[in-house]
Amino acid sequence: MKTQNSAVVVTGSAAQVPPEIASQLGIVTLPLTIIVAGKAYLDGVDIFPGELYQKMRIQKLEVKTAAPNVGQYYECFKRIIDQEGRDVLCITLSRQLSSDYNSAVDAARMILNEHPMSKVIVFDSLRAAAPQGLLAIEAAKQLQAGLSMEEGVQYLTNARHRLGLIAALDSLDYLAQGGRIGKAAYLAGNALQIVPILTINKEGIVAPSRVVRNKENVIPAVISILTKQTSGFKKLDISVMHADAQEKAEALQHSLNERYPSLEIPISEFTPVMGAHTGPGLIGLGYLYE
């Protein structure tokens, strides 16, 4: 017989859930596909983010990414239901950034046609990277604590508004190469040593948050944005992210530890689903507060 907390949380590797935490909480992580110079790799299986970013630095490779497809989600959901007899709560990338959500919804529909007594709920995180992962981790904790699937979804719906990403680019080169900024903006930005700081807004779209001059101003600006966004928090989770920029990430972690001495703040590698477009050198953080 199924119990209230029998659901399994499924998410993609873009969520950057640390493997040890995924194991502890029973979170199933599906790898996204990374296509490097026409060759496909599975994220975290055939290639790892640090390796990818180093290749991008050295070889200037064309990199594309693809979320898990319908078939991958179908096989994952089917295994959980058939072999474990458990329901599924799937937390995806923002549908504004990827086909991830639509693929999971299509797979869920197929599964529910075959297993009408089972539950497969797909939830759009409206985020990516560490914020998506923080949401998946909290969902698994809430389900383990006894919340029903419906209560878990309500919790996620509320938590989604207290979730954020702040990321500073190292270079405008990759945005320019991908056609995401014009040539004039690219030349002006480089000449003025402009560093854009990006976020993902409430609609799940990447948007500029602030522009700073000179790279030494990046960490103070990131912390300033975080402090403003989480004002009055009672609980705060932070995860630092980087794309082949370990030293800068450690500097950001150190500054955060000074600001929030009671928090444990991990460092993870930035998901290639966004890093492929922003390039190596990026640092930032994801946060969830109450």
Q: 145 and 217 in one domain?
A: no
Give the chain's domain count: 2
Q: 184 and 129 in one domain?
A: no
The CATH number assigned to the domain holding 139 equals 3.40.50.10170
Across-strand partners of 29? 11
Report the distance separating Cα 265 and Cα 280, nearest Å.
21
Residue with tokens 């790279």: 215
Distances in Å between the alpha carbon of 240 and those of 129, 204, 264, 266?
10, 20, 11, 6
Which of 141, 185, 191, 135 shows the shortest CA–CA distance to 165?
A: 135
Confidence of residue 1 (pLDDT cuts 50, 70, 90): very low
Q: 262 and 208 in one domain?
A: yes
Q: 254 and 185 in one domain?
A: yes
More confident residue, 248 or 181: 248
Which of 77, 133, 75, 68 shows the shortest CA–CA distance to 101?
A: 68
Residue 177, pLDDT above cutoff 60: no
Q: Is residue 2 part of a domain?
A: no
Q: 171 and 153 in one domain?
A: no
Q: Is residue 52 part of a domain?
A: yes
pLDDT at 201: 87
Report the distance separating Cα 93 and Cα 112, nearest Å.
22
Q: 151 and 12 in one domain?
A: yes
The CATH number assigned to the domain holding 195 equals 3.30.1180.10
Across-strand partners of 137? none
Residue 266, pLDDT above cutoff 60: yes
Calculate helix-pair angle for 129-144, 149-159, nearest 10 degrees. 150
Residue 8, pLDDT above cutoff 50: yes
Q: 166 and 60 in one domain?
A: no
Query: pTM to 2 decimals?
Result: 0.89
Q: 251 and 199 in one domain?
A: yes
Across-strand partners of 43? 47
Structural domain range at position 249: 162-289
